[in-house]
């Protein structure tokens, strides 16, 4: 997170938001075992793949958590691992030009949905906003992030402080989140499919790109 996203972020000085974000993503994606770690093993107890996801925030107008989560999941789903064959002691990593690389085995797509609470309205109902802008985030009285996958399974809920929310409201939020995630899931799938089609059109550009992808 740097000053590109917003001048309020200083270089090399992580903000609270940084910590919250990395902790939430860690909880949402890694600890929900979205990625089958065993599939990244090449030789048991000897060789494994190491995956690294770099997140760059380019423009900040609120809801960084949800966007970061969607971006990470999409990147993981888009990533292709080169094929490896093991025969005895020999390990061969086939270049992508030789064997079509394989996608990662993602067991499910956990997606974060953040609610911003603005206190109760006249009828005693909690006012909550989804996908808040930076201004709304600055004014909110509390927030909660629910991580759900498209099957409606909650992976993680985090609500640190802020305005007190009734349990019933939480249930309502979780249900709403499950609904929203279905839509987001479809969007990601559609984007991935579109990309697939564009790549397989027969131009050789994707080979070039595929190569640089592996160098990362």
Task: Name the residues that contact another protein, by CB under 8 A.
Answer: 2-8, 11, 52, 54, 56, 58-61, 208, 212, 215-216
Q: Give the whole-angstrom CA distance, residue 13 versus residue 6.
A: 14
Q: Which residue, 6 or 169, has its beta carbon nearer to another protein?
A: 6
From the CB of 210, what's the least distance to another protein, in Å?
A: 12
For 154, the 3-state DSSP assignment is strand
Q: Do 149 and 199 contact (CB within 8 A), yes or no?
A: no
From the CB of 8, what's the least distance to another protein, in Å?
A: 7
From the CB of 59, what's the least distance to another protein, in Å?
A: 5
From the CB of 104, what's the least distance to another protein, in Å?
A: 18
Q: Which residue, 61 or 141, has its beta carbon nearer to another protein?
A: 61
Q: Which residue, 5 or 84, has its beta carbon nearer to another protein?
A: 5
Q: Which residue, 130 or 154, has its beta carbon nearer to another protein?
A: 130
Q: Which residue, 129 or 189, has its beta carbon nearer to another protein?
A: 129
From the CB of 6, what's the least distance to another protein, in Å?
A: 6
Q: Which residue, 16 or 52, has its beta carbon nearer to another protein?
A: 52
Where is 169: in which H helix or E strand? helix 167-199
From the CB of 39, what's the least distance to another protein, in Å?
A: 23
């Amino acid at each position: 997170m740097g000053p590109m996203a917003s001048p309020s972020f200083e270089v090399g000085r992580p903000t609270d938001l940084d910590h919250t974000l990395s902790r939430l993503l860690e909880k949402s994606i890694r600890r929900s075992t979205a990625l089958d770690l065993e599939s990244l093993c090449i030789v048991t107890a000897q060789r494994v793949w190491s995956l690294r996801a770099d997140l760059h925030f380019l423009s900040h107008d609120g809801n960084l958590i949800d966007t970061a989560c969607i971006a990470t999941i999409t990147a993981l789903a888009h990533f292709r691992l080169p094929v490896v064959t093991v025969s005895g002691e020999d390990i061969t990593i086939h270049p992508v030009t030789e064997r079509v690389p394989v996608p990662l085995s993602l067991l499910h797509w956990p997606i974060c949905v953040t609610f911003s609470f603005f206190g109760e309205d006249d009828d005693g109902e909690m006012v909550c906003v989804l996908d808040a802008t930076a201004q709304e985030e600055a004014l909110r009285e509390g927030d909660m992030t629910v991580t759900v996958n498209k099957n409606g399974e909650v992976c993680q809920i985090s609500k640190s402080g802020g305005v007190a929310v009734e349990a019933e409201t939480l249930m309502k939020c979780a249900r709403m989140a499950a609904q929203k995630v279905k839509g987001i899931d479809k969007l990601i799938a559609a984007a991935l499919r579109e990309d697939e089609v564009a790549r397989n059109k027969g131009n050789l550009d994707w080979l070039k790109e595929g190569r640089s992808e592996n160098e990362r």
